[in-house]
């Protein structure tokens, strides 16, 4: 006999996902139930605690089966949280991670300070993907003029959906981060980027990342994975005004090498490495000399 209470159905789904190796099985079961019912995850959890008799239809079973095959949760719901935003995501675009929220923060702080000083800061997001960082800046610092570029046309399509819904004034372009925005040379206040940076010998273990995030958004090229991040640094040196801020995300093993790139060129000052909220080395920052 099939389970009838919401709590029983969630327990069964959690067990199915646990067997499949999904690390956040209960969380994902509740999110998928909420997606089907049109409720928040919190509302689902409360309804289950109350013992509500809610029969989830076949859509829920199908979604649980797909999640058990390690299709990303965000692809199944069509959304991914990023700071205060809900972004549209799916196949062809990198799913934004919580650690990148720490990368957005210095860019937001810098733009906010410039607005407070009576400026209209110009912020450029290189390798924007879904538009996560650009949209975080645009929505949290309304006075900022935000530009974003992405090489992948599939990712740009997702970013365009997010820009149209959340911040239509963002200037979104399709192109290469290393050559984009030549019309803004020397006029930018903040360059921020979460570029591809995974080294070729560090293939992600999680199937959700390895099999579903686009390779162009994962691998940074070169033996150390830093070819694209270094190209971002070069582009930022061209774009930033003197004193302008650069913020770049990187892998936990790359901070020393990326700082060496910044300090050896003579183009940067105040180069520093920073951790994310878990204490993992996650980003570097520097100011244009």
pLDDT number for residue 4: 72
Shared domain for 11 and 98, answered yes or no, is no
Shared domain for 145 and 201, answered yes or no, is yes
pLDDT number for residue 191: 98
User: Which of 45, 69, 93 is a domain's end point?
Assistant: 69
| Residue 205 covered by a domain | yes
Count structural domains, the chain.
2
Indicate left, alpha or beta for 248 from its phi (over 0: left) and psi (-120 to 50: alpha).
beta
User: Which of 69, 94, 111 is a domain's end point?
Assistant: 69
What would the pLDDT profile of 197-250 be if each residue is shown by its tens digit? 999 888 888 899 999 999 999 999 999 999 999 999 999 999 999 999 999 999
Chain centre to alpha carbon of residue 227 = 20
User: Which of 69, 99, 120 is a domain's end point?
Assistant: 69
| Residue 23 covered by a domain | yes
What would the pLDDT profile of 38-51 be if each residue is shown by its tens digit? 999 999 999 999 98
What would the pLDDT profile of 77-89 be if each residue is shown by its tens digit? 999 999 999 999 9
| pLDDT beyond 50 at 263 | yes
| pLDDT beyond 90 at 155 | yes
| Residue 112 covered by a domain | yes
What would the pLDDT profile of 140-149 be if each residue is shown by its tens digit? 999 999 999 9
> What is the Cβ-side half-sphere exposure of residue 183, based on CA atoms within 13 angstroms?
3
Q: Which of 30-34, 166-170, 178-182, 210-214 has the lowest mean pLDDT?
A: 210-214
Q: Which residues span the domain enclosing 135?
A: 84-288
pLDDT number for residue 96: 96
Shared domain for 96 and 201, answered yes or no, is yes
Shared domain for 116 and 60, answered yes or no, is no
What would the pLDDT profile of 114-130 be if each residue is shown by its tens digit? 999 999 999 999 999 99
Confirm whether residue 197 is marked as ligand binding.
Answer: yes
pLDDT number for residue 2: 45
Confirm whether residue 194 is marked as ligand binding.
Answer: yes
| pLDDT beyond 70 at 58 | yes
Shared domain for 203 and 97, answered yes or no, is yes
| Residue 75 covered by a domain | no
Q: Smallest Cα–Cα separation from 105: which of 276, 281, 279?
A: 276
Q: Smallest Cα–Cα separation from 217: which of 182, 249, 189, 255?
A: 249
Shared domain for 229 and 107, answered yes or no, is yes
Locate 154 and state its tokens.
Answer: 């599939």
- Strand 122-126 and strand 188-193: pairing? parallel
What average pLDDT is seen over the chain? 95
Shared domain for 88 and 206, answered yes or no, is yes
pLDDT number for residue 1: 32
Shared domain for 149 and 184, answered yes or no, is yes
Shared domain for 41 and 100, answered yes or no, is no
Specify the CATH number for the domain of residue 228.
3.40.50.150
Shared domain for 197 and 279, answered yes or no, is yes
| Residue 223 covered by a domain | yes
In percent, the amount of the chain with pLDDT more than 90 equals: 92
| Residue 29 covered by a domain | yes
pLDDT number for residue 3: 55
Shared domain for 263 and 148, answered yes or no, is yes
């Amino acid at each position: 006999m099939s389970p009838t209470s919401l709590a029983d159905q969630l327990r069964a789904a959690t067990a199915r996902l646990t067997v499949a190796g999904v690390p956040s099985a209960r969380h994902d079961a509740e999110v998928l139930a909420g997606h089907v019912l049109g409720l928040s995850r919190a509302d689902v959890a409360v309804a289950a605690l109350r013992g509500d008799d809610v029969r989830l239809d076949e859509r829920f079973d199908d979604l649980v089966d797909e999640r058990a095959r390690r299709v990303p949760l965000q692809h199944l719901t069509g959304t991914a949280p990023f700071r205060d935003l809900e972004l549209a995501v799916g196949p062809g675009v990198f799913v934004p991670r919580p650690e990148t929220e720490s990368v957005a923060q210095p860019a937001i702080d810098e733009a906010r300070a410039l607005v407070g000083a009576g400026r209209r800061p110009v912020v450029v997001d290189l390798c924007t993907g879904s538009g996560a960082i650009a949209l975080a800046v645009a929505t949290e610092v309304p006075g900022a003029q935000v530009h974003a570029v992405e090489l992948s046309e599939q990712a740009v399509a997702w970013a365009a959906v997010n820009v149209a819904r959340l911040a239509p004034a963002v200037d979104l372009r399709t192109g290469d981060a290393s050559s984009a925005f030549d019309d803004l040379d020397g006029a930018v206040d903040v360059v921020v980027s979460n570029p591809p940076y995974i080294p070729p010998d560090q293939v992600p273990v999680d199937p959700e990342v390895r099999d579903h995030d686009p390779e162009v958004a994962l691998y940074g090229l070169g033996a150390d994975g830093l070819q694209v991040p270094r190209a971002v640094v070069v582009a930022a040196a061209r774009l930033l005004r003197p004193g302008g801020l650069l913020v770049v995300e990187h892998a936990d093993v790359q901070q020393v090498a990326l700082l060496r790139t910044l300090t050896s060129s003579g183009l940067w000052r105040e180069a520093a490495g920073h951790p994310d909220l878990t204490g993992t080395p996650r980003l570097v920052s520097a100011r244009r000399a």
